Chain A
Amino acid sequence: MKRLTAIAALAVVATATACGTTGNTSSSGAGGIYTTIDGSKQIDASAPINPFNPQGSTFMGYDAMSLGWPKNDLMNPDLFYPGLAGSWSVTPGQGEVVIHLRPQARWSDGKPVTSEDVRTSIGLAYTQGGSAYTVNSGAAGAAADITVVDAKTVKITQGSNRSNAFLRNVLSTVVVPAHVYGSLLPAGFWTTLKTAQGTGPAADKAKAVITGLAQKVIGFSPPADVSAGPFVLERINPGAALLKKNPYFYDAAKIVPDKVKVLNYTGNEQIWNYLVSGKLDNAPFTAVPAAVMARIKATKGNEIRKGYSPVAASLAFNQAHKPYDNVHVRRALAYLIDRGQLTRVASPEAGTPAVTTTGIHASAAKAWLGDGLAKLNPYKVDPAKATKELKAAGMVKRNGLWAMPDGKPWKVRLTVPAEFSDWVAAAKSIASQLNDHGIDATVTTSADYTLYLDELASGKLDIGFWLMALGPSPYNIYQRLYGSANGWSLLAGRLRHSPPGKDGNWMGGPEVVGGVNPGELTNRLNLATPEEQKRIVGTLAGLTNQQLPVIQLYDYVNTQFVNTTRYTGWPPAGSEALRLPAGVWMQLGMIEKK
């Protein structure tokens, strides 16, 4: 422990020195230096200035730009703020998306942003795979063709296996300069890509060539940052990154700060200390204990902006394990868990108790289900109903403790990753509540999240915590419950269901419940019209509420921190821009100097 303390102290000194150096030698004009953190990653000063590298020294919204920025809408995932794309058009069914780049968009070296940049960026995205740019034949929503119409217009065509996620995936494309990254794509790349999009041995060989470029792209290190965003990286050290204003940015007049300093952190505690000391002009969502929140609020200028966050925490069952295959047992547990109390214990500042289990965040559930929400079983705490359900499941009570139908002890083991302190506290609260009602419940932890997910996928765990309701796309929402974790996966454009324990199916739910195949319905959300989607969501919410493959515990609240001492014009509570990086707020003309 002593050694740990010493290392921590040294790290603090090093960080302070590093930050101090940055601060002291930086000159800022009237716009001042805007100080923040990057919520998506910690700073790695040795990482390349490359947005394809997960640790890359680029910062979304500041010096890394995409075609558009998603709005935080409850239901419509296709609403975007313009980014490098000033406008776009899409055909019905999203077969074709035409992107019109901003005429004034230029890179920080003065060169214009062109369609060739977009095409190169898409080529590089293919090497990484996923979303619209995958070489897996038959994958839903994959781009089939990229056509440069003119210097500022690109047409991207969707393959035959359609998905209504195509537009948003295209708009989320990160654009890099072709004159810097273009050499990464070998001659004949586009021909190879065409071959890879087919089937057969030649296609397999071509796919290997494309995906074989992934590491080269990730590891590419340009000598300097070339940005089309409002800022460009000036320098970076282990303590902080300093970005200066990009004079060529298409909306440079809207950008107020002269520089942006992105501070590094090693854990939430460091962010709390930054906030308590009033150092940050804003910080994205960070889990904060109530007492720390009180101290943050007490700091001059600090304000909290709360908004919709399409994420919820749930208790997920492995239905291949007894007695969790029995819906009565799952319902009994739902009747015994006081969600209000556990939210107070686990996430008082960044969570609201789930209204009930629908699979959807409460805010979106109201929009999707309307009056239907009130008709669902709220699973309010009711020990009498829990007893009835347990008896219906054949469970027996021995010496004050519930046991399995054959009289063997029933030990409820709740597993959570040790690094998520809110989940650990929530799991402990649930275990305590179940103990109060004669259920022998304990909490176990996995050393880290990756190991935890491995343990879940391998079917080792009975009950684990699970992130769900990942909206706004209804497909993404229900894919968490009726997707690969529950046996349904898309292979070559065809949906198939794997038995429990196979292909990552750890939830082990039945393929068909009461004549409904929830995986198939979920998959249809990908293609359905808005009206159809609403109907399917209603069915899935009702089924989820009855069957409880998970118990929805609390819905997250997007809690952002802003400081009004140096800058004003922050997005208001509930704003559609609230989940975007502050660099995008600046692009939208929101941030002003005080």
Chain B
Amino acid sequence: MTVTAMLPGGQGGARATLRRNFWRGVGRVLRRKPSRIAGVAIIALFALMAVFGPMLYPAHLPRDDNALYAAPSLAHPFGTDFEGTDVLALVVTGARYVILTGLATAIITVAVGTALGLLAGFHRGRWDTVLMRITDLQLTIPGLPLLLVLSTVWKFEGPLEMGLVLGLLGWGGIARAVRSQTLSLRERGFIEAARGLGLPTRHIIVRELLPGMAPYIAMNMLIAVTGAIYAQVGLFFLGVLPFDSNNWGVMLNLAVFGGGALTSAAALPYLLAPLLAILLLTLGIVLVVDAMDEIFNPRLREE
């Protein structure tokens, strides 16, 4: 931040130059490995599915009463489900719930974890003790059993509710990691200087400490999305969450327990389609995290 202030020319122009350089750097990093481009493409595809997917199909997906568990064909690339609905349509329209839940979880996980980690690490002392004991307590709560119990009293009607619960159950790890980073950064010279200049704590935390950890937090956020997807799909698969025929977890559940996908091949495409979607989305996230690592870590950019 201090470097920016010392740059010649207007502050806005300098920022624009930095932004241009940053995106050029991003482009270079992505081009270096085609897999990273693929990762971005996959995430873009799922984002498009989440935003526009449900608009591509009627509110109630059409069924073919005479094609229950139909084999893959041009008309139905992943076959049909137990009532003759196109499985691809189910995956596409179901992406919104899964991705929204993933994002909500990630945002809550990162927001709560980062805030508590920064406060605990920067203030140390009693703040640190209290916040870290709360974090320890959160880390000891067994997530899955708690969710199973919660599902008996709470119907989790929407993705945001689901995301809220998963997020509140998942911030402990990030809080601990951010605290460690903060403890290290707060001893650096630029923080000492900021303190010496009498800058307020809020400024130091938000404008000095946080930008240094932003890459780390962003990567954690993406990883939290994958965790949230696994968790919610798992819960739907176990059948403890409300039924929604295009939810990927519900599809897995019905393919295995209703269609016998693990015993006969008829319902296998119905099982594989949501699995493939989860796999692709996770792969996309992993590839983008790989690119982000290089973008934000100058030592990896030396070649």
| A311 part of interface (Cβ distance < 8 Å) | no
Partner of B258, one of A1, A272, A295, A425: A425
Contact of B263 among A295, A418, A429, A443 (CB under 8 A): A295
With beta carbons under 8 angstroms apart, the residue of B234, B257, B264, B265 that contacts A1 is B234
Q: Which of A62-70, A81-89, A286-294 contacts B (4 or more CB under 8 A)?
A: A286-294
Q: Are B256 and A269 in contact (CB under 8 A)?
A: yes
Q: Which residues of B contact A291 (CB under 8 A)?
A: 69, 259-260, 264-267
Q: Is B52 an interface residue (CB 8 A)?
A: no
In this complex, the member of A1, A422, A451 whose beta carbon has the largest number of chain B beta carbons within 10 angstroms is A1
Most chain A CB within 10 A, of B148, B152, B155, B265, is at: B152
Interface string of A419-442 (1 = CB under 8 A from B): 101101101110010011000000
Q: Which residue of A lies closest to B151 (CB)?
A: A447
Q: Do A292 and B260 have beta carbons less than 8 Å apart?
A: yes
Closest Cβ of chain A to B290, distance in Å, is 21
Please tell me if A178 contacts chain B, counting CB pairs below 8 Å: no
A405 to B69 CA separation, bound complex (whole angstroms) = 39
Q: Is B230's beta carbon under 8 Å from chain A?
A: yes
List B contacts of A289 (CB < 8 A).
258-260, 264, 266-267
Chain B residues closer than 8 Å to A273, beta-carbon distance: 263
- Whether, in the assembled complex, A444 has its beta carbon less than 8 Å from a beta carbon of chain B, the answer is yes
Indicate if the CB atoms of B60 and A436 lie closer than 8 Å.
yes
A428 and B83 alpha carbons, distance in the complex (Å): 8
Min CB–CB distance A92 → chain B (angstroms): 50
A424 touching B243 in the complex, CB below 8 Å, given contacts A269-B260, A451-B152:
yes
A341 touches B65 (CB 8 A): yes
- How long is the Cα–Cα vector from A268 to B257 in the complex, in angstroms? 8
Interface size on A, residues (CB 8 A): 36
Interface of A is mostly: helix
**Does B237 sit at the interface, judged by CB under 8 A?**
yes
Q: From the candidates A344, A345, A419, A447, name the one contacting B152 in the complex (CB within 8 A).
A: A447
Q: How far is the CA of A341 from the CA of B262 in the complex (A)?
A: 25
Q: How far is the CA of A325 from the CA of B253 in the complex (A)?
A: 35
User: Least Cβ distance of A410 to chain B in Å?
Assistant: 16
Contact with B along A1-19 (1 / 0, CB 8 A): 1001000000000000000
Does residue B72 face the partner (Cβ distance < 8 Å to A)? no
Q: Across the interface, do A424 and B262 meet the contact criterion of CB distance under 8 Å?
A: no
Report the separation of the CA atoms of residues A451 and B151 in the bound assembly, to the nearest whole angstrom. Answer: 11
Report the tally of A-B residue pairs with Cβ distances under 8 A. 89
A276 at the interface (CB under 8 A from B): yes
Complex partner residue of B82 from A345, A436, A445, A447, CB under 8 angstroms:
A345
**CB-nearest residue of chain B relative to A421?**
B258
B window 209-242: CB within 8 A of A: 230, 233-234, 237, 239-242
- Residue of B83, B256, B265 near A425 (CB, 8 A) is B83
Which residues of A lie under 8 Å from residue B264 when comparing CB positions? 289, 291-292, 294-295
Whether B262 pairs with A269 at a CB distance below 8 angstroms is yes
A283-303 CB contacts (< 8 Å) to partner B: 288-292, 294-295
Let me know if A1 and B233 touch, CB within 8 A: yes
Contact A344 B239 (CB under 8 A): no
Complex Cα spacing A436 to B63, Å = 10
B77-89 vs A, Cβ < 8 Å mask (1 yes, 0 no):
0000011000000
Q: Which residues of B contact A268 (CB under 8 A)?
A: 257
Q: Which residues of A contact B83 (CB under 8 A)?
A: 345, 425, 428-429, 432
Q: Taking the complex as formed, is B272 at the interface, i.e. its CB lies under 8 A from any CB of chain A?
A: no
Q: Is A267 an interface residue (CB 8 A)?
A: yes
Q: Which of A419, A425, A444 lies in contact with B239, CB distance below 8 A?
A: A419
| B260 touches which of A288, A444, A451 (Cβ 8 Å) | A288
Chain A contacts for B69, CB-based, 8 A:
290-291
Q: Is B111 an interface residue (CB 8 A)?
A: no
Report the bound CA distance from A416 to B245 in whole Å: 14
Please state if B257 and A267 are interface contacts (CB–CB under 8 Å).
yes
A193-214: CB near B (< 8 Å → 1, else 0) gives 0000000000000000000000
Q: Give the residues in chain A near B148, CB-CB below 8 Å.
A: 447
Cα–Cα distance between A451 and B254 once the two chains are bound (Å):
20
What 0/1 readout, one digit per residue, does chain A (130-146) give for beta carbons within 8 Å of chain B? 00000000000000000
What's the least CB distance linking A196 to chain B, in Å?
37
Could you say which residues of chain B place their CB within 8 Å of the CB of A341? 65
Which of chain B's residues have a CB closer than 8 A to the CB of A451? 152
A297 to B242: give the CA distance in the assembly, Å. 35
B237 touches A1 (CB 8 A): yes
State how many angstroms separate the Cβ of A293 from the closest Cβ of chain B.
9
Whether B254 contacts A425 by the Cβ 8 Å rule is yes
State how many angstroms separate the Cβ of A20 from the closest Cβ of chain B.
21
Is B68 interfacial (CB 8 A cutoff)? yes
Residues of B contacting A276 in the complex (Cβ-Cβ under 8 angstroms): 263
Q: Which residues of A contact B257 (CB under 8 A)?
A: 267-269, 421
Could you tell me the distance in whole angstroms from the C-beta of B86 to the nearest C-beta in chain A? Answer: 13
Residues of chain A within 8 A of B82, CB atoms compared: 345, 425, 428
Q: Which of A1-47 contact B (CB under 8 A)?
A: 1, 4
**A94 and B256 alpha carbons, distance in the complex (Å):** 49
| Bound complex: CA A276 to CA B262 (Å) | 12
* Residues A445 and B234 in contact, CB atoms below 8 Å apart: no
- Separation of A416 and B258 alpha carbons in the complex (Å): 14
Complex alpha-carbon distance, A79 and B239, angstroms? 41
| Cross-interface CB contact of A418 among B233, B239, B259, B267, cutoff 8 Å | B239
A447 CB, nearest partner CB in chain B, Å: 5
Complexed CA–CA distance, A429 and B68 (Å)? 12
Please pick, from A4, A294, A421, A435, the residue contacting B254 in the complex, using a CB distance under 8 A.
A421
A445/B60 in contact, CB under 8 A: no
From the candidates B60, B152, B254, name the one contacting A432 in the complex (CB within 8 A). Answer: B60
Known contacts A1-B233, A269-B256; 11 further A-B pairs (Cβ under 8 A): A267-B257, A289-B259, A289-B266, A292-B263, A345-B68, A421-B254, A421-B257, A428-B82, A432-B63, A445-B243, A447-B151
24 contacts between A and B (CB under 8 A): A4-B234, A267-B257, A269-B256, A269-B257, A269-B263, A289-B260, A289-B267, A292-B263, A295-B264, A345-B68, A418-B239, A418-B240, A421-B253, A425-B82, A427-B243, A432-B83, A436-B60, A443-B243, A443-B245, A444-B243, A447-B148, A447-B152, A447-B240, A451-B152
Where the two chains meet, the residues of B that have a C-beta atom closer than 8 Å to any C-beta of A are 60, 63, 65, 68-69, 82-83, 148, 151-152, 155, 230, 233-234, 237, 239-243, 245, 253-254, 256-260, 262-267
Which residues of A are interface residues toward B (Cβ below 8 A)? 1, 4, 267-269, 272-273, 276, 288-292, 294-295, 341, 344-345, 416, 418-419, 421-422, 424-425, 427-429, 432, 435-436, 443-445, 447, 451
